[in-house]
Amino acid sequence: MKKITQENYEEWAVVTGASSGVGREMALEIASKGISVVLLARRQELLDVLAEEIAQKHQVECKILVVDFSKDGSTQKVIEATQGLEVGLLVNSAGYALTGEFSENRLEDEVALLDVNVKTPLILSHYFSRQMKARQKGGIIFLSSLMAFGAAKNWVSYNASKSHNLLLAEGLGEELRSYGVNVIALTPGSIKSGFGQRSQTKAMFGALHPKRVARCGLWMLGCKRTHTAGMMNKIIVFSTRLTPRFLNTKIFSLVVRGLQK
């Protein structure tokens, strides 16, 4: 394990989805380690509050970029806004679920989910991993999900997007290992965050606090390629290896039904 310090991870971290939930807690944790943060999301007022909290608590710099990752050119804005910054940590936390039957949902909504959950982390990881590779240090964290381990009706694209995050992280981690760059996919189950409101679902019994997910994720960076917080969630991941895929789909579909409000 490499401690989260400027020495190990450079001066700056970029955090997507910093206005709420895990991204917000990641930004606070990283700032507490003396690393400056670039906060990205759409809701400026929440980013302003977070930047104020960071300024009061920690001796680091903080930059805000209001950006909608479902819009064309959004990742280019991030690239331009971070020119000249030594970015050694990237947290890909922005993401949400679209509930409903795939063929009944609007195609543009399905594509927007892909832009936010898949295309954005892919482009940002591609861009920042080159810099990290050249410096022979860095870390990339993907917020995948327990849902990456099985398909489910009514969350078709969400689960597929989280599988993409998981496999991208695992493969990229293997590629970057010899360059001293650590990659991890976090696969938490239910979290008490803004996610439920956005996806019209409720948090499950035993839902995790985003601070715990953030702390565990940063702690595990460099130790593991995939980390699932919570004993029950670990058991679920293990059990998906024992059951046939069609059965996993049935079980995950029941879980998603149970989550719906």
Q: Is residue 222 within the footprint of ligand NAP (CB under 6 A)?
A: no
Residue whose entry in the numeric block shows the structure tokens 């956005």? 198
Q: Under a CB-based contact definition with an 8 Å cutoff, are residues 35 and 6 in contact?
A: yes
Query: Per CB under 6 A, which region of 27-35, 39-47, 57-65, 225-233 contacts ligand NAP?
Result: 39-47
Q: CB 85 → ligand NAP: shortest distance, Å? A: 19
Query: Per CB under 6 A, which region of 99-107, 191-199, 224-232, 249-257 contacts ligand NAP?
Result: 191-199
DSSP string spanning the chain?
---SSHHHH-SEEEEETTTSHHHHHHHHHHHHTT-EEEEEES-HHHHHHHHHHHHHH-SS-EEEEE--TTSTTHHHHHHHHTTT--EEEEEE-------S-TTTS-HHHHHHHHIIIIIHHHHHHHHHHHHHHHHT-EEEEEE--GGGGS--TT-HHHHHHHHHHHHHHHHHHHHHGGGTEEEEEE----BSSTHHHHHTB-PPTTPBPHHHHHHHHHHHBTTBSEE--SHHHHHHHHHTTTS-HHHHHHHHHHHHHHHB-
Q: Is residue 93 within the footprint of ligand NAP (CB under 6 A)?
A: yes
Q: Is residue 22 within the footprint of ligand NAP (CB under 6 A)?
A: yes
Show contacts with ligand NAP in window 111-140 (CB under 6 A): 116
Q: Is residue 160 within the footprint of ligand NAP (CB under 6 A)?
A: no
* CA gap 200, 76 in Å, rounded: 30
| Of 3, 43, 245, 257, the one binding ligand NAP by CB under 6 A | 43
Q: Is residue 12 within the footprint of ligand NAP (CB under 6 A)?
A: no
| Of 33, 77, 137, 198, the one binding ligand NAP by CB under 6 A | 198
Q: Is residue 21 within the footprint of ligand NAP (CB under 6 A)?
A: yes
- In this structure, how many other beta carbons lie within 10 angstroms of the beta carbon of residue 104? 7
Q: Is residue 143 within the footprint of ligand NAP (CB under 6 A)?
A: yes
Nearest to ligand NAP of 10, 118 (CB atom): 118
Q: CB 40 → ligand NAP: shortest distance, Å? A: 7
Residue of minimal Cβ distance to ligand NAP: 21
Q: Is residue 252 within the footprint of ligand NAP (CB under 6 A)?
A: no
| Of 8, 19, 154, 233, the one binding ligand NAP by CB under 6 A | 19
Q: Which residues bind ligand NAP (CB under 6 A)?
A: 17-23, 41-43, 46, 67-70, 93-96, 116, 143, 145, 188, 190-191, 193-195, 198, 210
